[in-house]
């Protein structure tokens, strides 16, 4: 067995491991059955589905007709920008509110792309802010401040 597409094989292994981890973790909860689902039902079956997708993707990477692709070195700078943006969002959400935290998230994480452009990042920011306010504030009524508390007094 020769791995022809290393990218797909690695992705399949990641899916398989994540799915197995979720399914095994869900066994700590009552699973139940289809008629009476317990708290472990959803994560167990989603984990099984994710593991199955992982097997399919990894299996397709060793087919004779699979496109030959090699793994590349991870771009640590891009990963640092994106991880830093997520951490920054978590730190800024309560003191600055959803709108400004999302602005920081999108603008900082956009710097991780080699195709960064201010125009695209700002447009993406507006779309994400509008969607998030609609879905999380109006849609499911999350109690997240929209703006900093010093602006609301």
Domain residue ranges in the chain: 6-60, 76-152
Q: How far apart, in Å, are the Cα atoms of 56 and each of 12, 37, 60, 63, 152? A: 7, 27, 6, 11, 52
The whole model's pTM is what? 0.64
Residue with tokens 């504030």: 137
Which residues contact residue 152 at a Cβ distance below 8 angstroms, ignoring those fewer than 6 apart? 145
pLDDT(153) > 80: no
Q: Are 24 and 6 in contact (CB under 8 A)?
A: no
Tens digits of per-residue pLDDT, 60-113?
988 877 777 788 888 898 899 999 999 999 999 999 999 999 999 999 998 888
The pLDDT of residue 85 is 95
């Amino acid at each position: 067995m020769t791995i022809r597409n290393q990218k797909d094989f690695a992705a399949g292994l990641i899916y398989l491991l994540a799915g197995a981890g979720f399914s095994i973790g869900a066994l700590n909860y009552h699973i139940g059955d289809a008629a009476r689902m317990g708290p472990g039902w959803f994560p167990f079956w989603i984990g099984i589905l994710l593991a199955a997708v992982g097997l399919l993707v990894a299996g397709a990477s060793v087919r004779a007709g699979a496109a030959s692709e090699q793994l590349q070195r991870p771009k640590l700078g891009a990963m640092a920008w994106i991880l830093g943006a997520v951490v920054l969002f978590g730190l800024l959400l309560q003191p600055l509110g959803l709108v400004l935290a999302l602005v920081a998230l999108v603008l900082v994480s956009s710097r991780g792309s080699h195709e960064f452009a201010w125009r695209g990042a700002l447009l993406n920011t507006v779309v994400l802010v509008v969607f998030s306010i609609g879905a999380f504030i109006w849609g499911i009524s999350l109690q997240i401040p929209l703006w900093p508390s010093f602006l609301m007094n």
